């Protein structure tokens, strides 16, 4: 089997989409399959990075393409980076794809699946959309004005066509599966016929009824062997970061626009005068980190500190620093994204405090499985109350952590996901 992955970031980049892609690509190559990755020369947090154009890493052939390098700070620059990646990656994919190949397109940049669908159809390859977020809906939910109006409808139509063109659409959860199913069916209501490059015409009726079977829920993962529970007394980072003797509330990972931080900052302010030694720790980066740092300085919060992204080999310690971990997601993007940071927290055997829609997929999961609690995104007082409760009840935290670790090993370890992925690719 020959599999070609398409994503803007790949190893050694540390972003979530890169890590998941790298894990799966290296596994498939190790299992004897021919694996290629079409990606950029950039890193997620370093647009100026100069990674080699061609490289073989652990049996995977990486084809990196040149693009503009404006980075993620400005919308116009990001759009130009996207556009040049579409062109360069599409051309590279055209050159290396052959009949019978499986092309797996992720969702960075948004709508790269449209380019992949066109090339795959012309080349006789089979397309798998690996949906990490649903665009343009997530951008509309975040109030991106450039995507309001007729252009949003056009983008949605193109995206829906790419969904319908795929041999399979892999999504991260049941809510996302429902969104993709509705989107996939929408194109048939808007356009009863499709004209192929060969000139033939296909009527959609019968295929529309079977499309649901082409949506597969395969969650992202963590590695239960690489991330292990570490007791506070044995964690060198707690000592290095001055956290011994404190109850640590940790947020680790991307601080992106889909994440909600208002209630977290308000709760930190409410607890800043608490008699309990409660420390809020932010590890990572992203579009909102500067705003969070500015707000902490403006409020003069003494109980908040920041650390950069930690090396993947140190995740047992960096995730183990937290006594509890925060996962936040704006309620309006429910079903459009699924934060992958959840799985590392489970692997580290730490309770999850979810801030968002308690009835959403993650909120319902943590409550149902007994691995944490869910709080509405605007309920700072409720969040502070839950943190005080967990901080004063070590046996409860230990029980939640044990259930979290068991859930990861049973359902979300990377070996489980790899097996499902391999079965799907073999079916194709």
Distance set, CA 368 to CA 385, 398, 406, 407 (Å): 20, 17, 14, 12
CB 10, CB 42: distance < 8 Å: no
Q: Given this model, what pLDDT does residue 74 score?
A: 76
Our count of domains for the chain comes to 2
Is residue 298 included in any domain, yes or no? Answer: yes
32 backbone φψ class: left, alpha, beta (φ>0; ψ -120 to 50): left
| Nearest residue to 82 via CA among 71, 93, 97, 92 | 71
The CA-based angle 287-293-298, given to 5 degrees, is 130
What does the DSSP assignment read for 144-163?
-GGGSSHHHHHHHHHHHHHH
Indicate which CATH number applies to the domain containing 213.
3.40.50.2000
Tell me whether residue 162 is in a domain: yes
Q: Where are the beta strands (DSSP E) in 188-287?
A: 193-195, 201-203, 215-217, 247-252, 278-283
Task: Give the pLDDT score at 204.
Answer: 32
Contact (CB, 8 A) for 3 and 101: yes
Instruction: Show the 3-state SS of 385-407.
Output: HHHHHHHCCHHHHHHHHHHHHHH
- Same domain flag for 248 and 348: yes
Do 418 and 332 share a structural domain? no
In a domain, 352, yes or no: yes
3-state secondary structure (DSSP) of residue 280: strand
Query: What integer pLDDT is reported at residue 192 of this predicted model?
Result: 37
Q: What's residue 148's pLDDT? A: 67
Q: Are 205 and 238 contained in the same domain?
A: no
Does the residue 227 lie in any domain? no
Residues 6+ apart with CB under 8 A from 379: 263
- Pair (202, 251) in one structural domain: no
Q: How far is CA 402 from CA 184, 219, 381, 395, in A?
A: 39, 21, 27, 11
Distance between CA atoms of 387 and 110, rounded to whole angstroms?
Answer: 36
Q: Which domain holds residue 175?
A: 2-221+414-427
418 lies in the same domain as 406: no
**Together in a domain, 167 and 32:** yes
* Residue 101 backbone class (left: φ over 0; alpha: ψ -120 to 50; beta: rest): beta
Is position 330 within any domain?
A: yes
The answer to whether residue 146 sits within a structural domain is yes
Contacts of 422 (CB under 8 A, 6+ apart): 28, 31
Position 76 scores a pLDDT of: 82
Let me know if residue 226 belongs to a domain. Answer: no
Is there a single domain that holds both residue 201 and residue 242? no
| Same-domain pairing of 186 and 274 | no
> Does residue 39 fall inside a structural domain?
yes
One domain, residues 34 and 75: yes
Walk along the chain (428 residues) in steps of 10 and give the mean pLDDT of each run: 96 92 98 97 87 96 94 80 96 97 96 97 97 93 78 89 95 95 69 36 37 84 97 94 96 94 97 87 94 97 96 95 97 95 98 96 97 96 97 97 98 97 94
- Residues 318 and 194 placed together within one structural domain of the fold: no
Residues 407 and 418 in one domain: no
Nearest to 82 by CA among 63, 62, 107, 61: 107
Distance CA 390, CA 421 (A): 37
- Model pLDDT, residue 382: 98
In the chain, the N- to C-terminal Cα span, in Å, equals: 10
193: which DSSP letter? E
Co-location of 240 and 128 in the same domain: no
């Amino acid at each position: 089997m020959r599999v070609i992955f398409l994503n803007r970031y790949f190893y050694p980049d540390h972003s979530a989409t890169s890590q998941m892609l790298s894990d799966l690509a290296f596994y498939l190559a190790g299992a004897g399959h021919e694996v290629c990755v079409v990606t950029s020369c950039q890193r997620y947090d370093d647009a100026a990075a100069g990674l080699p154009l061609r490289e073989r890493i652990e049996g995977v052939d990486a084809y990196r393409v040149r693009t503009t390098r404006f980075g993620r700070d400005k919308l116009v620059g990001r759009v130009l980076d996207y556009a040049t990646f579409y062109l360069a990656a599409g051309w590279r994919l055209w050159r290396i794809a052959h009949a019978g190949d499986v092309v797996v397109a992720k969702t960075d940049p948004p709508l790269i699946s449209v380019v992949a669908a066109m090339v795959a159809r012309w080349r006789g390859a089979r397309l798998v959309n690996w949906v990490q977020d649903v665009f343009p809906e997530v951008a509309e939910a975040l109030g991106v004005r450039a995507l309001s109006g007729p252009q949003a409808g056009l983008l949605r139509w193109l995206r829906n066509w790419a969904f319908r063109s795929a041999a399979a659409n892999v999504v991260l959860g049941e809510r996302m599966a429902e969104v993709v199913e509705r989107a996939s069916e929408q194109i048939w209501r808007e356009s009863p016929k499709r004209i192929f490059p060969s000139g033939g015409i296909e009527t959609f009726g019968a295929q529309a009824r079977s499309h649901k079977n082409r949506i597969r829920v395969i969650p992202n993962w963590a590695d239960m062997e690489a991330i292990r529970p570490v007791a506070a007394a044995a964690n060198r980072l707690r000592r290095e970061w001055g956290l011994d003797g404190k109850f640590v509330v940790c947020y680790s990972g991307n601080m992106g626009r889909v994440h909600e931080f208002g209630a977290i900052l308000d709760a930190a302010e409410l607890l800043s005068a608490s008699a309990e030694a409660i420390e809020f720790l932010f590890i990572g980066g992203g579009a909102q980190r500067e705003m969070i740092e500015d707000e902490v300085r403006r409020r003069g919060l003494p109980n908040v500190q920041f650390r950069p992204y930690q090396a993947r080999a140190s995740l047992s310690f960096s995730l183990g620093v937290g006594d509890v971990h925060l996962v936040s997601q704006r309620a309006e993007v429910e079903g459009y994204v699924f934060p992958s940071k959840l799985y590392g927290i489970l692997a580290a055997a730490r309770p999850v405090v979810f801030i968002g829609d308690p009835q959403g997929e993650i909120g319902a999961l943590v409550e149902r499985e007994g691995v944490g609690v869910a709080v509405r995104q605007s309920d700072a007082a409720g969040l502070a109350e839950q943190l005080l409760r967990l901080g004063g009840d070590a046996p409860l935290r230990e029980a939640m952590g044990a259930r979290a670790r068991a859930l990861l090993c049973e359902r979300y370890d990377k070996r489980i996901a790899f097996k499902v992925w391999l079965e799907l690719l073999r079916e194709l």
